[in-house]
Amino acid sequence: MSRSCSGFQWSCRVAHRAVIPFIRACAPAWFAEYEGGTSSIVIAVAEQLESETAQPTVRRPEGGLLDLLRRAILTLFSGAITVAVSGCIGPPVLEREVLGYDEVTKTLDEKLLLLNIARVFNQEPVHFTSTSSIAATFNWTATLGVGGQVTESKGTNFLNLNVGGSASENPTFSISPISGKEFTERVATPFQDTIFEFLVFQGGKINQTMRLMSAGIEVQKPDGRFVRFIENDPRRAKEYEEFRQIAAHLQWLNDNRQLFVRPLVYDETLIADFKNTPSAGDINGGFNIGLRWRQKPNGNYELTRLKGGRVAVTNFDPMALTDQKRFELDEKIKKNPSGFVYLDIQPNGPGGNLPVQGAIKLRSMFQILSFIATGIRIAPEFEVSPNVPIEETDAGATATLKINVMDNPPDLRLPNVYYDGHYYSVNDTVWDRKSFLLLSILFQTTIGRIENVGIPITISK
């Protein structure tokens, strides 16, 4: 934010016959004004037209000139105060308005999530609208006017002080309904494995993230063939219990720093055996785009680049594998869609008493909302005792995200929305607030910036 204030400007208009003395006219006037950050003082001495009835010119005593000078200094001081006041008023107004718009946008996202949960709960279709842009113009003006009249004859000198201010705001909102292809890609398509890794990497509990994002675990053979599916659905009680135990087991490993959740990184070979010596331009140019030339033992050259592959959840460090092994593992993982997170808990590693190999199948945004809404009444989650190898660990709350439906208004501190005669609010526990935070982050990654959705709805006032 920048702030500028222009300096004071003086202008003096004196008739050609009124140079000396300084005051010769019968009614000199002076005026000072500040507006919108600019201050000016104008001193005008108007020449009195000579006539037969004109009064004799009376020279102003030295005390009167000093009084006039004091008034001019007062005017300058008042203008300086106005400049300072306007600089102190503007930034707080801007700060308050920007933070206000941010708070309103956050509240809209929370209500939109809860509203769609309520819609699914009432077996109604979901609908999302994104606030794609907010543009607001702020104008504030402070005005200070000081005016006076000095008379040549005996009488009272008059002094007028005028202070004023004004402010205006012109906001423009653009909202974009999500439909068609955008709805399919953003709401109905399962999340990618990178989003799962992002939440866990940012400090989210892996069991809480799995319970929210995962539809289940697909158990596979070492070659990737399907064996069975462990569904994260309370209506399938045995599978749901097994899923919860695996999630708690992974959380125990993660708490003990024995779980690795990371994308596979390896050197991809572009040219395996280059017989000639690469030029300096080829070496420098390749280095700038992530390519690396390496001389082999036989004297030929190999061109490689560092590549990030799919995400893997393991009880061993993938970086301990050779580069070729990481490449082969990534090629096997690629047989699964991007909405699958590779899972490999080997029996000879930490926590090997509960080995599992396969993939965590991720939900879409719509499936997550449907799971939460179904858990309100149709298929509520139930408590499961964790199955951990060494010590007990907290498996979290019974419900992944509990939504309370009530007739009376909830605590205003909690995210809530009123729909179809009922209030829907997030349960007031640390676990539920953290789950709703994860859901909000997923909502932001889903909606993001909306582009190419036709003509957005623009509201201005």
DSSP string covering 399-457, please?
A: SSS-EEEESS---TTS-EEEETTEEEEE-SSHHHHHHHHHHHHHHHHHH-S--SSSSPE
Summarize pLDDT for 128-161 with one digit per residue, the tens: 887 666 676 767 666 656 555 555 455 555 555 5
pLDDT of the residue at 206: 95
By the 8 A CB rule, do 401 and 394 touch? no
Residues 6+ apart with CB under 8 A from 102: none
**CA dihedral sign, ordered 433, 439, 442, 444:** negative
Per DSSP (E only), the strands in 400-452 are 403-406, 416-419, 422-426
Summarize pLDDT for 370-385 with one digit per residue, the tens: 999 999 999 999 998 8
Summarize pLDDT for 230-272 with one digit per residue, the tens: 999 999 999 999 999 999 999 999 999 999 999 999 988 888 8
Give the pairing type, strands 416-419 and 422-426: antiparallel
Give the pairing type, strands 416-419 and 214-220: unpaired
Residues 6+ apart with CB under 8 A from 84: none
Summarize pLDDT for 52-108 with one digit per residue, the tens: 444 454 455 555 656 666 666 656 655 655 555 555 555 666 677 778 777 878 888
Summarize pLDDT for 210-240 with one digit per residue, the tens: 999 999 999 999 888 899 999 999 999 999 9
Query: Measured between alpha carbons, how far is 81 from 234 in angstroms, rounded to an integer?
Result: 69
Query: Measured between alpha carbons, how far is 334 from 394 in angstroms, rounded to an integer?
Result: 34
Query: Measured between alpha carbons, how far is 248 from 265 in angstroms, rounded to an integer?
Result: 27
Token pair of 15 as six digits = 């008739």
* Lowest mean pLDDT segment, chosen from 189-198, 274-283, 311-320: 274-283
By the 8 A CB rule, do 165 and 142 touch? yes
Residues 6+ apart with CB under 8 A from 106: none
Residue 229 phi, psi dihedral angles, 5° rounding:
-125, 135
Token pair of 210 as six digits = 């799995």
CA atoms within 13 A on the CB side of 176: 20
Give 146's strand partners. Answer: 32, 161
Query: Measured between alpha carbons, how far is 15 from 178 in angstroms, rounded to an integer?
Result: 72
pLDDT of the residue at 285: 82
Helix, strand, coil share of the chain (percent; to 5): 35, 30, 35
Query: Measured between alpha carbons, how far is 204 from 358 in angstroms, rounded to an integer?
Result: 22
Summarize pLDDT for 348-368 with one digit per residue, the tens: 999 999 999 999 999 999 999
Helices and strands, number each (H, E), in the chain: 9, 16
By the 8 A CB rule, do 438 and 204 touch? yes
By the 8 A CB rule, do 198 and 213 touch? no
Amino acid at 375: G
Residues 6+ apart with CB under 8 A from 152: 26, 27, 58, 60
Closest of 296, 302, 308 to residue 269, by C-alpha: 302
3-state secondary structure of 286: helix
Give 14's strand partners. Answer: 45
End-to-end CA distance of the chain: 25
Query: Measured between alpha carbons, how far is 351 from 338 in angstroms, rounded to an integer?
Result: 27
Query: Measured between alpha carbons, how far is 114 from 197 in angstroms, rounded to an integer?
Result: 25
DSSP 184: I
| pTM beyond cutoff 0.95 | no
CA atoms within 13 A on the CB side of 390: 9
Task: Calculate the CA dihedral of residues 256, 258, 261, 266 and round it to 10 degrees.
Answer: 150
Q: How confident is the model at residue 22 (pLDDT cuts 50, 70, 90)?
A: very low
Give 43's strand partners. Answer: 12, 30
Per DSSP (E only), the strands in 275-377 are 291-295, 301-314, 340-345, 356-362
